[in-house]
Copies of this chain bind each other. A is one copy, B any other.
Amino acid sequence: MRRRLSVVLAGAAAIALSAPAYAQVPAGCAPNALNIPGAPFPCIYTDGRVTFRVSAPDAQKVRVRMGQGFEMTKGGDGLWSVTTTSLVEGFHYYTLAIDGSTVADPATRTFFGSGFYNSAIEVPARDADFYAAKAVPHGQVRQLSYFSKVTGQWRRAFVYTPPDYDTRTSAKYPVLYLLHGWGEDETGWTLQGHVELITDNLIAAGRAKPMLIVMDNLNAVRPGESAALYAARGTLTQAVVQSAQPAGAPARAGGPGRGGAAGAGRGGPLASEVFTEMMLADLVPMVERTYRVAAGRENRAMAGLSMGGAQTFGTALANLDKFAYIGGFSGSSGGGAAFDPKTTSGGVYADAAAFNKKVKLLFLGIGGAEGPNTRNFSDQLTKAGITNIYYESPGTAHEWLTWRRCFYEFAPRLFQSR
């Protein structure tokens, strides 16, 4: 077998040769799965400690921004490094502060969160198998462009189609509309969430119905409305970026981040009416024109995480003629202490029997480290006679491992009444 490296690029070769030798990862420290190809750092120990290493030869101070943060020190080789305390398993956004400037670490892939492109580490989870790529039939994630009359702009949506979509050409499929969180976008559920792999695996195991999953951007403003309004809703201006705390900082590593204290939708007004209008007037009709979609509310579900969970409750509870399955992941704690079935969410919970007949699934998920609000909400619903499922991801905070697990518990319960 010939293994000749048959491309020689003069430029690349020169760069590679002139680069300083880079420290190897310490024994027992495996490169982060989200690193760019070939980058040895950050690396992760089996106990969840992470070693970061950064080149910043002329900097005075370099920090890893994650939770309370970790000060780096400059070594004899001129590189800055730090080894953290043990981090909880899961996906964690982070950034670097280099002499006060907040930037992504060039050693990792970047992920849109908190309104800009963060670095991230993936501390391996004990149950990572459920979102692993396996030798099972794979669906596709399709990118669509469509014009929204409500916003006056072109939008991008992603649609997961199950493995058999192109071969069962007369079959019609139920649809889940699935939303990201604050400061994220329509790429989150695939890039951070691996939703396509989770669904492939569930379908292959016979545990979930083949379904379409539509992932759009929960930000929507009307034509002429200011970007500031857009920014306030779901993204950040550059100025904010520089002082923002990335979401998903692990609770164990320090500060609460936006963890349990954030989960959108406790108390105040919940959801954007512009998004709801856009979704019902533009997105749903586009999806139903483009795909073979099974008709009726019992073939339509909606779910979301954090702010997307709040949006889900706002949109779906106000349109129960259109949705029969509803999920909120870390974003659906309802009225909290102020919960009153007669008034919360426009009184939709007032007639429990009618609600239970109409809503085939009301799913509330949360990370175990996020606090008691969602559990309390579930208890209040139960006390008011509202059937609901409460799921708690063991030990995780306001981050993507929580939401992957929530989805894994949620998806098998969809479209089971057909």
Contact = CB atoms under 8 A, between A and B. Distances in A.
A143 B141 contact: yes
Contacts of A208: none
Given A38-B231, A59-B100, A273 B225 contact: no
Interface stretch (A19-27, A293-301, A380-388): A19-27
Contact of A6 (B143, B190, B242, B270): B270
Residue from A38, A53, A115, A229 with most neighbouring chain B CB atoms (10 Å): A38
Interface string A215-244: 000010010010111111101111111111
Nearest to A311: B7
A99 B219 CA distance: 36
Given A37-B227, A233-B7, A154 B140 contact: no
A96 B239 CA distance: 17
A222 B4 CA distance: 11
A102 B98 contact: no
B1 A36 contact: no
Contact of A7 (B110, B261, B272): B272
B37 A115 contact: yes
A131 interface: no
Interface stretch (A10-18, A86-94, A341-349, A370-378): A10-18
Given A37-B219, A103-B103, A264 B310 contact: no
Interface residues of A, number: 112
B115 A36 contact: yes
A230 B38 contact: yes
Residue from A102, A142, A233 with most neighbouring chain B CB atoms (10 Å): A142
Contacts of A182: 9, 11-12
A207 interface: no
A5 B233 contact: yes
A307 interface: yes
A307 B13 CA distance: 13
A11 B262 contact: yes
A200 to B, nearest CB: 8
15 contacts: A7-B271, A15-B244, A38-B236, A39-B241, A56-B98, A57-B99, A58-B61, A59-B99, A60-B60, A62-B101, A95-B106, A102-B106, A103-B103, A104-B106, A133-B154
